[in-house]
Amino acid sequence: MTKNNNKVAVVTGSSSGIGYETSIVLAKDGFTTYATMRNLQKGNDIRSVADKEKLPLKIIQLDVTKDQSVTNAVASVMSESGRIDVLVNNAGYGLAGAFEDLSLDEIKQQYETNFFGVFRVTQAIIPIMRKQKSGVIVNVSSGAGRFGYPGGSAYVSTKFALEGLSESISYELNPFGIKVILVEPGVIRTNFESGMVKAKRSRESSSAYYGMTQKMDKVFSQLMQNSSPPSLVANVILHAVKSESPNFRYLAGKDVEQWIDQKNRMTETQFFNMMNQSFQ
């Protein structure tokens, strides 16, 4: 714990799942870690672990959809620690439903968290890293940032947007010593499924896509049975942020490794047909 004991990490969406595990892993490695979350009442578990193991982990409130909350959280970190070396943009949720069934408000809410949340937090922290002439920004994307699937248009498009944003700013920030990293998990054993929001119209039996939605629920439940633990993603993130020359992209999970390998080897038509058959 000596190598990173002067470095400061900020992790969004840390009350459970990938954010929870990443905060713990970073703190165990010596990073002074700020585990941030919208609802502090959900921080009891991570606080208990940190206290028991005497980890350099602090919990602060941060709602990535609120400008003032982001400003206050970043100011609090800087007041206490004076620097930010690692930012892990992890906060997010899934919105399921056929595109035709999605309301504009539902899509806007999805983007507020999954994309504009990253936008807010990252823009607030870049000037700090730029002045330091160093820093690492990890954006937790998904295999769904590389390919789509039925019923996922809202969620998938936020991840595609995140991938494009990450690639573009990586060029802009490189001259200032700031590294940008994408981590693309597969299906992870978290509360993502229970926390998934289903479009209101997609739950109605009168929807033209109701049958498809029911099938996708079954497919996702099956995928969850062979899912990877969130600790796998957390360790990928730890490895990436400690690397002196990190890759731009890291896959996290055997399933996503297989999907991307197939996508790289197949024609677009072949991949479409394979995915289409998988969801029948």
Structure tokens at 61: 């409130």
Kindly compute the dihedral angle of the four CA atoms of residues 183, 188, 191, 192, in this order, to the nearest 10 degrees: 60
**CA geometry: angle at 57 spanning 53 and 58, to 5°?**
130
Q: Are strands 86-89 and 32-37 parallel, antiparallel or unpaired?
A: unpaired
Kindly compute the dihedral angle of the four CA atoms of residues 74, 89, 61, 23, in this order, to the nearest 10 degrees: -110
Catalytic residue among 111, 155, 209, 250: 155
Which among 108, 109, 117, 110 is positioned nearest to 19, based on CA atoms?
117
Q: How far apart are CA 47 and CA 181, in angstroms?
A: 27
Q: How far apart are CA 116 and CA 118, in angstroms?
A: 5
Angstrom CA distances, 43 to 35, 48, 59, 105, 136, stand at 9, 9, 7, 29, 25
* 155 tagged catalytic: yes
Residues with catalytic roles: 155
